[in-house]
C-alpha cells in the first residue's frame, strides 16, 4: 500500500492548519497559513500562536478576509484550523436579520402601544383620538402585511415557483387603479399619467403587473421631495419591437452613479437624507426586477443628484400583446 504523505496533503489545502504544543508554541504550520502572514514556515516554529491569532476569539481578519477559528485538542497538542467565511453571504444574512427584525419590531411596537392605550384609557379618549389610534393600528398592520408579502415573493422567486398566468391587459386601466391606491397613502404628491395614442396592450400576469407598479409608484412618491410630482409615461417602445415602455419619474434626491447597480439587490438601502426618513426593507426593487424578467421584460434606471433637476426615471419594458408574443408564449407553455 502506498504511504500517504499527510504533510503534502495539508500543504495543498486552502485551509490554514496549525499544530501547537501545550505551551502554545507552534510545532507545525501548513503552507496556506504561512502565506497568510507572508513568512517561511520554518521561521514560525516555536513562536507563540497568539502572536498570530487572537486569544479567546472565534474569528480573525487577515488580508481583508474573515476566518473562522476552530480548535481541537488531543493528548499531545492542539490543532487550529482557519476557514474563510464568505463575507458577502455573511453580510447578506446579517442584513436580512437586521432588516427584518427592525421592520417587524417597529410596527408591532406601534400596534401594541396604541392597543394598550385604548384598552387602558378607552373611556377617557374622545372620538377623534380613537379614530387616530385605530388608523395608526391599521396602517402598521398593512405595513406588516406588505413585509410578509415581500418575503413570500422572494421565497417563491428563489425556488422558481413563478405560477404566472398571462393575459392581454390595458396598462392604462391598471396603472390608474394603482395610482388611486398609492395616492391614498401620499395625498400631498401629484400623480400624472400620460398614455400615447395607439399604445398596445401588454402580455403579463395581471397580479404581478399590479405588484410591480405598486412598488415602483410607492418608491417614486416615498423618495420624492415634499409635494414632488410622480409622472408615468406609457408608450410603444421605440427601441424594442413588440414591447411597451412604462416610465416612472420622481423628483427626489436621486441615486449616485456608483449605487445604480446596487439598488436591485436584496436588502439594498441607499443612504441619503430622504431614505433615512422613510421606512423600507430594501426588498421591493429586487422583487420588481425578478418579476419583470420572469415575464420576459427588462427594467432600466437613470438618475441625477444635481439640483434642481434631481430625481430618477425607472423604465420598464414589457412584451406587447401582439400576435407574435402571444404565439411565442403558447409555444413556451407547451
% of the chain residues with pLDDT over 70: 78
Most confident of 135-139, 264-268, 275-279: 135-139
> Per-residue pLDDT for 276 more than 50?
no
pLDDT digits (tens, 9 = 90+) for 9-56: 677 677 788 889 888 899 888 888 888 888 888 888 889 989 888 888
> Per-residue pLDDT for 89 more than 60?
no
d(CA 302, CA 312): 6
Four-CA torsion 113, 116, 117, 118, nearest 10 degrees: 120
Return the CATH number of 88-158, one of 1.20.210.10, 1.20.1530.20, 3.40.50.620, 1.10.287.130: 1.10.287.130
The model's pTM is 0.57
**Does the CA dihedral 34-38-39-45 come out positive or negative?**
negative
**What is the model's pLDDT at position 94?**
60
> How many CA atoms lie less than 13 Å away from 180 in the CB half-sphere?
6
pLDDT digits (tens, 9 = 90+) for 90-109: 555 565 666 566 567 767 88
Contact 290, 171 (CB under 8 A): no
> Per-residue pLDDT for 325 more than 60?
yes
Contact 223, 250 (CB under 8 A): yes
In terms of pLDDT, which residue wins out, 193 or 58? 193
pLDDT digits (tens, 9 = 90+) for 111-170: 888 888 888 888 888 889 889 889 888 877 877 777 777 666 665 655 444 578 899 999
d(CA 106, CA 109): 5
> Per-residue pLDDT for 4 more than 50?
no
**What is the model's pLDDT at position 273?**
45
Read off the pLDDT band of 226 (50, 70, 90).
confident
Beta bridge partners of 316: 246, 299
> How many CA atoms lie less than 13 Å away from 253 in the CB half-sphere?
15
Closest CA to 198 of 170, 239, 179: 170
Q: Give the three cell numbers for residue 193.
A: 399619467
For the ranges 166-170, 225-229, 261-265, the lowest mean pLDDT is seen at 261-265
**What is the model's pLDDT at position 184?**
83
Most confident of 110-124, 147-161, 184-198, 282-296: 184-198
Contact 58, 66 (CB under 8 A): no
In terms of pLDDT, which residue wins out, 188 or 93? 188
Q: Give the three cell numbers for residue 94.
A: 446579517
Report domain 6-85's class.
alpha beta
**What is the model's pLDDT at position 38?**
83
Read off the pLDDT band of 195 (50, 70, 90).
very high
**What is the model's pLDDT at position 2?**
45
Q: Domain 166-333: give its CATH architecture.
A: 2-Layer Sandwich (3.30)
Domain boundaries, the chain: 6-85, 88-158, 166-333
**What is the model's pLDDT at position 159?**
47
> Per-residue pLDDT for 3 more than 50?
no
3-state secondary structure the chain: CCCCCHHHHHHCCCCEEEEECCCCEEEEECHHHHHHCCCCHHHHCCCEHHHCCCCCCCEEEECCEEEEEEEEECCCCEEEEEEEECHHHHHHHHHHHHHHHHHHHHHHHHHHHHHHHHHHHHHHCCHHHHHHHHHHHHHHHHHHHHHHHHHHHHHHHHCCCCCCCEEEECHHHHHHHHHHHHHHHCCCCCEEEEECCCCCCEEEEHHHHHHHHHHHHHHHHHCECCCCCEEEEEEECCCCCCEEEEEEECCECCCCHHHCCCCCCCCCCCCCCCHHHCCCCCCHHHHHHHHHHHCCCEEEEEEECCCCCCEEEEEEEEEECCHHHHHHHHHHHC
Read off the pLDDT band of 194 (50, 70, 90).
very high
**What is the model's pLDDT at position 267?**
59
Amino acid at each position: 500500500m502506498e504511504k500517504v504523505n499527510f504533510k503534502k496533503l495539508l500543504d495543498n489545502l486552502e485551509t490554514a492548519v496549525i499544530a501547537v504544543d501545550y505551551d502554545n508554541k507552534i510545532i507545525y504550520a501548513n503552507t496556506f497559513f504561512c502565506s497568510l502572514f507572508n513568512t517561511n514556515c520554518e521561521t514560525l516554529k516555536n513562536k507563540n500562536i497568539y502572536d498570530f491569532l487572537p486569544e479567546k476569539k472565534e474569528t480573525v481578519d487577515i488580508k481583508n478576509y474573515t476566518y473562522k477559528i476552530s480548535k481541537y485538542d488531543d493528548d499531545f497538542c492542539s490543532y487550529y484550523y482557519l476557514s474563510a467565511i464568505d463575507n458577502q453571504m455573511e453580510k447578506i444574512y446579517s442584513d436580512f436579520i437586521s432588516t427584518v427584525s427592525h421592520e417587524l419590531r417597529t410596527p408591532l411596537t406601534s400596534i401594541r402601544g396604541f392597543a394598550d392605550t385604548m384598552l387602558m384609557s378607552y373611556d377617557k379618549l374622545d372620538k377623534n383620538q380613537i379614530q387616530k389610534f385605530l388608523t395608526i393600528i391599521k396602517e402598521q398592520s398593512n405595513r406588516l402585511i406588505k413585509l410578509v408579502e415581500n418575503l413570500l415573493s422572494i421565497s417563491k422567486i428563489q425556488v422558481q415557483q413563478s405560477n404566472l398566468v398571462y393575459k392581454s391587459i390595458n396598462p392604462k386601466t391598471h396603472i390608474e387603479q394603482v395610482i388611486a391606491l398609492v395616492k391614498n397613502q401620499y395625498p400631498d404628491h401629484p400623480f400624472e399619467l400620460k398614455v400615447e395614442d395607439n399604445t398596445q396592450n401588454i402580455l403579463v400576469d395581471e397580479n404581478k403587473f399590479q405588484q410591480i407598479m405598486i412598488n415602483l409608484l410607492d418608491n417614486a412618491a416615498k423618495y420624492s421631495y415634499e409635494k414632488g410630482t410622480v409622472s408615468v409615461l406609457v408608450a410603444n417602445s421605440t427601441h424594442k419591437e413588440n414591447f411597451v415602455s412604462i416610465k416612472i419619474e420622481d423628483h427626489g434626491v436621486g441615486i449616485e452613479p456608483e449605487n445604480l447597480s446596487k439598488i436591485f439587490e436584496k436588502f439594498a438601502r441607499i443612504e441619503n437624507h430622504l431614505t433615512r426618513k422613510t421606512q423600507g426593507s430594501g426588498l421591493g426593487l429586487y422583487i420588481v426586477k425578478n418579476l419583470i424578467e420572469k415575464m420576459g421584460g427588462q427594467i432600466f434606471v437613470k438618475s441625477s443628484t444635481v439640483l434642481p433637476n434631481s430625481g430618477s426615471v425607472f423604465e420598464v419594458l414589457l412584451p406587447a400583446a401582439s400576435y407574435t408574443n402571444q404565439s411565442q408564449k403558447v409555444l413556451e407553455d407547451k
